[in-house]
Structure 1
Amino acid sequence: MVDSDVTSHMDPLGLTAALPTDAQSILGLAARSLFDVFANASEGMLLVDRSGRVVWINDHYRRYLPALGFEREADFVGKPVVEVVQNTLMNQVMETGKPILIDLLSNRAGTFLVSRFPLRDEAGAVIGALGVVLFDQPETNLQPLMAKFALMQRELDEARTALAAQRKVGGGLRQARHSFASFIGSSAVVADLKRQARRAAQSSSPVLLLGETGTGKELLAHAIHASSPRARGPLVSVNIAAVPETLLEAEFFGVAPGAYTGADKKGREGKFKLADGGTLFLDEIGDMPLGLQAKLLRALQESEIEPLGSNRLVPFDARIIAATSRDLVKLVREGLFREDLYYRLNVLPLRVPALRDRASDIPALVEFLSEDLALRSALPQPEFQAQALALLSAQHWRGNVRELRNVIEQLLLRCEAGMVDAQAVGAVLRESGLSHIAPAPLAGQVPEAHGVPQDPKQAPAPLGDLVRALELDAVQHALAFSQGNKQAAAKLLGISRAKLYQCLPKVS
């Protein structure tokens, strides 16, 4: 049983007065039992009255008093709770009459996981509130939850910082449009990539982003800049593959006044100078002409450039992030990329995974992309059936996230019923001429290629057969990925084990 001073607080709540005798006794017993459980199992409890003053604390709560700045209980009890407990929300509970079941409270005594409940009289009026400290070291007791909370909070802070920087900057200065929260995915490989990228963001060394086209290298470059000490500086991007070779030198280093016929009399600053104090993102660095690589290397080593048509050296201070979808090591061996420049850039290499290597992130990407595209197109966001997501998750995705976005946009424009099923996904994939299932056959088996025949003289198979063939390919791929574990394969596809068996070919 609880102490007598605690029990005395149960009667004023008016929980039993208006009920039949049996109900009164049961509810009264339940109230006392639950109060007893909280009082003994929790890390602390306190009661406040209708005016917001602390009227009682239990023995467990008394141990926090020194950390809160009170030597005696008498100095704590009787004071307004907002004056003695920093960041409390007890007054909010009494004002709204609504409980706060789970919350994190941080103050001088530490960080706590707490619950808060309003207390009512027989007329339903709020007469006080009960606060319960569930854990006093949530970072230890709730490590997985706290780690996820910390990650979400950090990504939110990064997004807010990037947004604030965009709002403050004027005059056309270029800023990062994305943060790490924009890189959608929670798979192990993405979590490790974000961890490495955050560490890289705090350095001033060059970063080299490696990965296939469409994996999100530019987005990651924006995120690195946004979370770096240079976040308030400009982010200048150059797609080397998109600039004619004859203009690259002027694009990089700028042009001196009157450098050549037709040149601007005032001259023009290059990307290096525009990125001064910020970050210069060199996309598709593997496509840089060999003749310009020596000048780029010198600029990186000396932190100074020489504008075209000038004999004056101009210092600059820009952090370099380079990206490529090509195999730089192979280009070095073939003599198409300078080995010394490769070593200068390959200081902090980050490999951005292909979409097929993080298939578990596809449902989250589908949700994000479909919502984004629906907002842009002023259309309702469609819902994807489990089998439709299974088909999307089983694709090879040669174009990665960019290709996935294209498919979802097609589905969004075709979807009229607000629901995307496997047939709709299969139709878009076939008509787009995209590869279907990632090549991962079962041991000893070679999967057949399913799809619409390319020969116009050959009649296509019925749509139902094509969908069943796609389902079979998806199941076979999931079984290969899970090494024959049917339960794991069903979980990957988002279907039941019974449904998985239905999709497998019947053996006579």
Structure 2
Amino acid sequence: MDSTSGLPQLPFDVDGVLRLAAQSMFDTFARSTEGMLVVDRAHRIVWMSEGYQRLLPALGFADVREIIGRRIVEVVPNSLMPQVVDSGQAILVDLLSNKAGTFLVSRLPLRNPQGEVVGAVGLVLLDHPETTMQPLMGKFAALQNELCEARQQLAAQRRPKHTIASFIGSSPAAMEVKRQARRVAQTDASVLLLGETGTGKELLAHAIHAASRRAHKPLVSVNIAAVPDSLLEAEFFGVAPGAYTGAERKGRDGKFKIADGGTLFLDEIGDMPLALQSKLLRVLQEQELEPLGSNQVVQVDVRVIAATSRDLAAMVAAGQFRADLYYRLSVVPIHVPPLRERAQDIEVLVDAIGEDIARRSGLPHKLLSPGALRWLAEQPWPGNIRELRNALEQATLMSDEAELSEACFAAFSASAATCRLQTGGPASSPSVPPAGCVGDASLRALPELIDRVEREAIAKALSATAGNRVAAARLLQISRASLYQRLARWPELAQDSFAV
């Protein structure tokens, strides 16, 4: 019995057996693998097998004596052996590619009897695994491709969708907005975009980012009005691993972290809760944040562009918005004019929107008559460009005519007036109503009036063409099928016409 350890004394030298076992295993690995090398605590190569030495010419060395004593990264630039030595953690299976080819490798730390890491051993398990491990390599290549595609898609989503040229118009108001946008894009100052809904504030945010030095970095957008108040803090600042029950184990980055180096666009900033405004102010001032459930401070480099359709100055006066945050956001305020203040841009806007509608719908690009353009220019457009697009889309999809006239916008005029009544806006515009509408008629009777105008027009066309439906459709500038649909509503008109 060993008096010191309390264990029975063995009749042979245990340490000697272990040394022989280690030596035998070392020799076996050296012979059976494609190559093997050993580095010391300072990452210097101290030994290399003959198999590994055969790779030296491809790495730029003629003899093993040239590399003994050199740091491993000087011989194999992308080696992870230093990482294994410094961390003490093995990398059991990995792919290594260099000038000599692609290899399946394994890396193990070497420890002394006290458990201290004194070096590492690297083994080349397979040469050219792309041929000997084809199924595994195929899966690896497929995963690499999927990862690459995912990164490209994510990068595409984070890229700006518009440039300053995308803000269409040559009116003085539009030109001034573009001048201010170009000027502020050259700085990192915070920008506050002020304007009614539908004026193009988000487009301008994309344009400013695209013209800035941050254009190659992410542009991240957050619509504050669309995120519940209880989730806004996590959305902005992220969540630490295990911060609360149900949280992701790895945690989650917030929008500030995702936008690091780039731009964060905060839409509808006037809807931000007061409790969160102070935390946002700190991030803007210090460029640092603490994820939810963490005490660790994370440094960020983010340029903020905010937008709102609300009167922030009045909200500050009413105590609904922090004054210090308002001043921090509005370093450069840009007022985006409503459409009624740039009516001379209507024609070019209509042309650009029409092309986009045609591309998305697959329908021909429809032109507008001079009367339709005049009518559009006279409207108040409380919904601005978004409302204009809605009107054009309705008229394009619901009309069979190649050229849109004033009458094509009659239905939109009625629905828009109803919407304005329901939202407390003006019931009708001061402009002359389009053909087919009666200005002093009640809104409830307008569909009946439109039907009457259509019926009278069809009756006159059939009379003028002696009942020839093809000629009548051509005269009305609608399709034959469209005429037949209307005649089905008024069968009395079809009785006197020829079945052509």
Aligned residue pairs, count: 293
1:373 alignment counterpart? 357
2:317 corresponds in structure 1 to 333
Deviation at 1:200, TM superposition (A): 0.4
Which aligned pairs between 1:81-120 and structure 2 lie closer than 5 A? none
Q: TM-score, normalised by structure 2?
A: 0.56
Q: 1:383 to 1:451 in 2, by over 3 A?
A: farther
Counterpart residue number, 1:163: none
Note if 1:177 corresponds to 2:166.
Answer: no
Which structure 2 residues correspond to residues 220-235 of structure 1 after superposition, within 5 A? 220-235=204-219
Larger radius of gyration: 2
Q: 1:324 to 1:205 in 2, by over 3 A?
A: same
Deviation at residue 287 of structure 1 after TM alignment: 0.2
Distance 1:206 1:438 in 2: 37
Q: Distance in 2 between matches of 1:260 and 1:365?
A: 50
- CA distance in 2 between counterparts of 1:191 and 1:260 reads 50
Aligned AA for 1:184? I
Question: Are 2:178 and 1:194 aligned?
Answer: yes
Q: Aligned AA for 1:279?
A: T
Displaced runs of 4 or more, over 3 A: 431-441, 454-464
- 1:26-71 Cα deviation digits (max 9, x unpaired): xxxxxxxxxxxxxxxxxxxxxxxxxxxxxxxxxxxxxxxxxxxxxx
**Seq. identity, %:** 56
Contact 2:163 2:208 in 1 (8 A): yes
Correspondence for 2:277: 293
2:327 maps to amino acid: Y
Contact 2:191 2:332 in 1 (8 A): yes
Q: 1:311 to 1:351 in 2, by over 3 A?
A: same
TM-score (norm 1): 0.55
Q: 1:454 aligns with which of 443, 447, 458?
A: 443
Q: Which residue of 2 aligns with 1:402?
A: 386
Aligned to 2:229: 245
Aligned CA RMSD, in angstroms, stands at 2.6
Structure 1, gaps ≥5 residues long: 1-166, 442-448, 465-508
SS at match of 1:223: helix
Matched-pair contact (CA < 8 Å) for 1:183–1:220: yes
- Cα distance between partner residues in 2 of 1:226 and 1:458: 47
Counterparts of 2:365 and 2:261 in 1: how far apart (Å)?
Answer: 41
Q: Distance in 1 between matches of 2:408 and 2:446?
A: 25
Task: Report if aligned partners of 1:382, 1:415 keep a CA contact under 8 Å in 2.
Answer: no
Partners of 1:453 and 1:460 within 8 A in 2: no
Q: Which amino acid aligns with 2:272?
A: M
Quote the residue 2:306 is aligned against. 322
8 A contact 1:370–1:382 mirrored in 2: yes
- Equivalent in the alignment of 2:254: 270
Any gaps of 5 or more consecutive residues in structure 2? 1-148, 421-426, 433-437, 455-500
1:124-147 Cα deviation digits (max 9, x unpaired): xxxxxxxxxxxxxxxxxxxxxxxx
Q: Distance in 2 between matches of 1:452 and 1:366?
A: 29
Query: Corresponding residue for 1:207?
Result: 191
2:332 to 344, 348, 362: 348
Tell me how far apart the structure 2 counterparts of residues 406 and 457 of structure 1 sit (CA, whole Å): 20
1:463, distance to aligned residue in structure 2 (A): 4.6
Whichever residue aligns with residue 450 of structure 1, its letter is G
Secondary structure, in 3 states, of the residue corresponding to 2:439? coil
Q: Deviations over 1:62-90 (max 9, x none)?
A: xxxxxxxxxxxxxxxxxxxxxxxxxxxxx
- C-alpha distance 233-390 of structure 1, shift in aligned 2 (>3 A): same
State the alpha-carbon separation in 2 of the partners of residues 241 and 280 from structure 1.
16
Q: Distance in 1 between matches of 2:241 and 2:162?
A: 36
Give the partner amino acid of 2:163: S
Specify the SS of the correspondent of 2:443.
coil
| Cα displacement string for residues 414-438 of structure 1 (whole angstroms, at most 9, x for unaligned residues) | 1212110111122321144366865
Aligned equivalent of 2:295: 311
| Other-structure match for 1:283 | 267
